[in-house]
Amino acid sequence: MLPDLSAPVTLLGSLFFAVSAFGLGWLIGRAHRALQRRNQINYIEAIRQGMLRQAAADDHHHRARMGLTQGD
């Protein structure tokens, strides 16, 4: 006569499902954080480039007012 294996199989199936759900959630979380980090880096770089452009324009404006430009 074969032993009743439904309880251990159910337990293993439940454990596998729980570990799989946790792993999938962890992977989704890591991907989301990586995407957020990349967006944050792009945002900071865009602000930095804008500040550099503004500083260059201000510098050109002040040099022009002081007569220090050379034909530009």
How far is the C-alpha of 45 from the C-alpha of 53, rounded, in Å? 12
Confidence band (pLDDT; 50, 70, 90) for 68? confident
pLDDT at 39: 98
Rounded (10°) CA dihedral 29, 35, 36, 42: 170
pLDDT cut 90: percent of the chain above it: 68
pLDDT band at residue 49 using 50, 70 and 90 as cut-offs = very high
Scan for tokens 């159910």, then name that residue.
10
Angle at 66 between CA 60 and CA 71, to 5 degrees: 60
- Across the range 31-52, mean pLDDT stands at 98
What pLDDT does residue 69 have? Answer: 66
Domain regions of the chain by residue span: 23-66
